[in-house]
Amino acid sequence: MTLLCATWRLSCENAAVARLERSFASDNFAGAHPKVLEALVEANGGHSLAYGDDPISLDVYKRFEELFGAGTKTFFVFGGTGGNVAMLSSLAGPGDCVVCTEWSHIHVDETAAPERAGLKLLTRPSPDGKLTPADIDAAAHWLGSQHHAQPRIVSITQPTELGTLYSPDEIRLVCQAAHRHGMVVHMDGARIANATAALGGVGAVRSFTSDAGVDALTFGGTKNGIVYGEAMVYLPQSGNATVERGVRYAPWARKATTQLPSKARFVAAQFRALLDNDLWVELGARANAGATALFGAVHDIESLALTSPPAVNSLYPVVPDAAADELRGTSFFWPWDPATQRVRWMTSWDTSLGDVEVFAEAVRTCIG
């Protein structure tokens, strides 16, 4: 990807096209929201306890409890991959493995970080990026055999890496199947704001997390307007010994995976800014709206094969290589499936309708 970025920059220098300041490559490309930056400056005054015992962190822990229910336990980390690895490590026992789809972020985009931490991934094929109860039942076949890694953890990505969205009922059925076999369920929520906005707003977040039976959640912020930081959130599942053990081991799992921020108040301050007045959901909704607007502007171009509106903030059109290279002169974006010439266009919290209009016109010029 780094080589592709360098090639794009070189081609842009020679391209006679209008280039957008904001790209359609990834919500990771976007900057921080002004309120987040203000919160960082405010948190910078004076000295404060380190490692998450400061007043700002303590306040945000309470806010996550208000969001997900009494008994929620929160631990701040630097990034999404580290948060996933630390959280899964805290839940896993000797010989345990993680059931996920072949498209899950922990399998596709984390450079074998879970495996490096001793977490074998047991992947299942999935055309839409979703795990099903049948997948869990099939994995459970190996439970009890000392010759096979034990499928004790299920990990789902919401929304998925293919831009699809689990409904609350789908997650509930996955959790029921997992719990029936004594497994726990982890949700990779790097884009949980986009999912929450799409499923009805802040009032809906429990419906597909704690109320649906999810045990542990990596709550994302980096893709949604903060500078750095995610949160490991253990959801209130009373009597679940594995989750209770995970909470107990979380401090050591976080430290062992180099994810303990000493100046945690700066991560907490950013999350407090997001949680104030539900800004996190507002930003997720903005990103989703950008993708919906882009779909509306170009879906009539049949060769793009955009058959239905996006569930969240990403589109996966078919763009021939030559046209894609030319279009990157306006905005860089990633290839997604080179074999089928599918690419990914992703919108961010700061994507404007003007950005959409310029890019849509470039699409028509390069493809139409």
- 109 conformational bin, left if phi > 0, alpha if psi -120 to 50, beta if neither: alpha
Same domain, 134 and 187: yes
Same domain, 256 and 283: no
Domain boundary among 259, 278, 297: 278
Same domain, 255 and 284: no
Same domain, 256 and 146: yes
Higher pLDDT, 337 or 6: 337
| pTM confidence score | 0.93
Element (H, E) at 254: helix 241-256
Q: What is the pLDDT of residues 55-69, one digit of tens each?
A: 999 999 999 999 999
- Choose among 127, 197, 186: nearest CA to 162: 127
Cα–Cα distance measured from residue 240 to residue 229, given in angstroms and rounded to the nearest whole number: 27
Inter-residue contact 137 to 173 (CB < 8 Å): no
Same domain, 19 and 39: no
Q: Is the pLDDT of residue 1 over 50?
A: no
Q: What is the pLDDT of residues 199-236, one digit of tens each?
A: 999 999 999 999 999 999 999 999 999 999 999 999 99
Counting residues of the chain whose pLDDT is more than 90, the rounded percentage is 93
Same domain, 216 and 115: yes
Q: What is the pLDDT of residues 9-46, one digit of tens each?
A: 444 443 435 689 999 999 999 999 999 999 999 999 99
Same domain, 38 and 94: yes
Q: What is the pLDDT of residues 313-355, one digit of tens each?
A: 999 999 999 999 999 999 999 999 999 999 999 999 999 999 9
What domain count does the chain have? 2
Same domain, 176 and 95: yes
Please report, for residues 139, 261, 309, the alpha-carbon distance to residue 314 in angstroms, rounded to integers and kept in the order given. 30, 31, 10
The whole-number pLDDT of residue 17 equals: 53
- Choose among 209, 214, 159: nearest CA to 185: 214
Amino acid letter, residue 153: I
Same domain, 53 and 195: yes
SS3 281: helix
**CATH number of the domain where residue 197 is located:** 3.40.640.10
Q: Average pLDDT of the chain?
A: 94
Domain boundary among 231, 254, 278: 278
Same domain, 51 and 158: yes
Inter-residue contact 159 to 194 (CB < 8 Å): yes
Inter-residue contact 51 to 260 (CB < 8 Å): yes
Same domain, 50 and 28: no
Element (H, E) at 344: strand 342-346
Q: Which two tokens stand for residue 102?
A: 């072949």
Cα–Cα distance measured from residue 29 to residue 25, given in angstroms and rounded to the nearest whole number: 7
Same domain, 117 and 132: yes
Please report, for residues 229, 274, 279, the alpha-carbon distance to residue 44 in angstroms, rounded to integers and kept in the order given. 16, 17, 21
Cα–Cα distance measured from residue 150 to residue 241, given in angstroms and rounded to the nearest whole number: 17
Cα–Cα distance measured from residue 192 to residue 307, given in angstroms and rounded to the nearest whole number: 24
**CATH number of the domain where residue 337 is located:** 3.90.1150.10
Domain boundary among 240, 262, 278: 278
Host domain of residue 71:
34-278
